[in-house]
Amino acid sequence: MGALAPPYDRRVQLLTVTRPRTVRLVAAAVVLQLSAGLLSAVVVREPTAPPPTPASVRAAPDQQVERAAGAPLEVAPAPTPATAQPDAGRGAQVEQLLQARSAAILGRDRAAFLATVDPKAFALAARQAAMFDALAEVPLASWDYSLNRLSRQPADAALDQRYGRNQWWAPAVSLSYAVAGFDERPSTDEHHLTFVRRDGRWLLGADDDFDATGGRTPRALWERGPVVAVRAPGVLVLGHQNSPLLRDVAAQAAAAIPRVTAVWGTQWPQRVVVLVPASAGEMASLIDSTQDLSQIAAVATAEFSGQSGADGTATDRILVNPETFPKLGQLGRRVVLTHEVTHVAVRRATGPLVPAWLAEGFADYIGYKDVTVPLSVAARDLRKDVRAGKLPTMLPADDAFAGNNAALAQAYEQSWLVVRLLAEQYGEAGLLRFYRAIGVSRGMPESVVLSTELTDEFGIDTARLTADWRATLQRQLG
């Protein structure tokens, strides 16, 4: 069996938010392919993380509520006698409707759930029924809607004609849900819903009226087909069919957890949720990417909702590409999932001043631990450069990990070898203290933090580390 190239995984800097919003961070791994002893490694661009999305909450009267994209939601003016009648009781009725939907989902009451949908919206009713059925095997700890009664969409003549004037309402609504036994905090998404008045009752009338104007409601895995759940110790895998792929992913992820814990320690939940979509296209849609992900083996995401980033908790997911992952040998699958699980484990310690080379190099370091990989293959792009006299002069900058960097492969190989050098020269325990010390640092330039922690932990500065690293590259790859 041939050796492996590193599972490149671009780090996106973690964000701490100060107002309710949802931020997704995406890291993409490259294909690792073993076939007849030959290795093919294709570096792909990381999916673009979507812009921060405001989560809708019950806001105070003076708070401004925004739409994620398109025209901003308006805060309704105080009612007057001329305007009060169309709105009378509307907010309370819609809030009760949303509470009924939540109770029906958690109580598995299909009839009660579908009773919240406009009977004239046939296509919506069919989608809602399919979603309800698909959620049967998903272990939900919570499913809650939040409504901002003061918000509304701008006037829309087309919707007035479709539903009738003052017979529709599209306020800011968010859905928060948590997977039981896995999610420390709920995942929150803004939903762009239209409620309609039928015979004096407010019902859900549409979830796609604002798709064309940037108000697209996210479609979760269970809105894209039936969902089955496969479990292994510390792992929940959700996919569309109970296949050997799902079972193997569950087994590989479960095996990765103790490998990562053996290095990083127990200071993480030691559990992961893995999604296996039906196709690369579905995976792209789930992570809001317009790029071709056909070469991607797996991605890791972290979502910070509301104030969850303040204490390091978030909703973590690993997504596996069903078109690419099966092409890997067992060793390739091991490295990829160990790499992704490492990102989940260290995420809360990966503060904004952790340089990209350290975050990515550390994930590769654990991914390759106890795996024999010849450097001539694992660092082949960097080896070509070194042999051509192109020895790097400095540690990889954060922008070296941009998806359009032609030397992206070299950036990852360089990072892995820097981290490996630190572990070999100063010990793994020192490497862990170094990572965590940088992770908790705030309020100083990254270069100052790096130099300070190198001196405190290893007794060297950045110049010394760079010189030692360059000498090692020359010796091992030249």
Element (H, E) at 325: none
SS3 460: coil
Distance CA 161, CA 402 (A): 47
Mean pLDDT, rounded, for 388-414 = 88
If one compares 158 and 84, the residue with the highest pLDDT of the two is: 158
Q: Let me know: does 62 contact 373? Beta carbons within 8 Å.
A: no
* Tokens encoding 413: 């190989």
Give the residue among 11, 9, 18 at the shortest CA–CA distance from 350.
11
Residue 40 amino acid letter: S
Distance CA 444, CA 100 (A): 49
Q: What's the half-sphere exposure (Cβ side, CA atoms, 13 Å) at 386?
A: 20
SS3 334: helix
Q: Let me know: does 314 contact 184? Beta carbons within 8 Å.
A: yes
Report the predicted TM-score, pTM, of the whole model to 2 decimal places. 0.80
Distance CA 375, CA 414 (A): 12
Sign of the Cα pseudo-torsion (79, 83, 85, 91, in order): negative
Percent of the chain scoring above 70 in pLDDT? 78
Mean pLDDT, rounded, for 422-431 = 97
- Domains detected in the chain: 53-77+85-221 (3.10.450.100), 351-478 (1.10.390)
Strands of the sheet containing 168-169, edge to edge, are 168-169, 194-198, 201-206
Residue-wise pLDDT tens digits, 69-105: 334 454 444 444 333 445 668 999 999 999 999 999 9
Is residue 52's pLDDT more than 50?
no
Residue located via tokens 């952790």: 354
- At residue 297, the pLDDT reads 86
If one compares 370 and 2, the residue with the highest pLDDT of the two is: 370
Distance CA 144, CA 206 (A): 19
Mean pLDDT, rounded, for 98-127 = 98
Between the alpha carbon of residue 377 and those of residues 5, 181, 333, 402, 413, the distances in Å are: 6, 40, 17, 23, 11
Residue-wise pLDDT tens digits, 216-273: 999 999 999 999 999 999 999 999 999 999 999 999 999 999 999 999 999 999 999 9
Mean residue pLDDT of the chain comes to 82
Return the C-alpha torsion angle 401, 376, 294, 8, nearest 10.
-30
Mean pLDDT, rounded, for 144-161 = 89
Mean pLDDT, rounded, for 392-401 = 92
DSSP letter at 329 equals: -
Q: In this predicted structure, which of 142-146, 331-335, 389-393 has the lowest mean pLDDT?
A: 331-335
Is residue 458's pLDDT more than 70?
yes
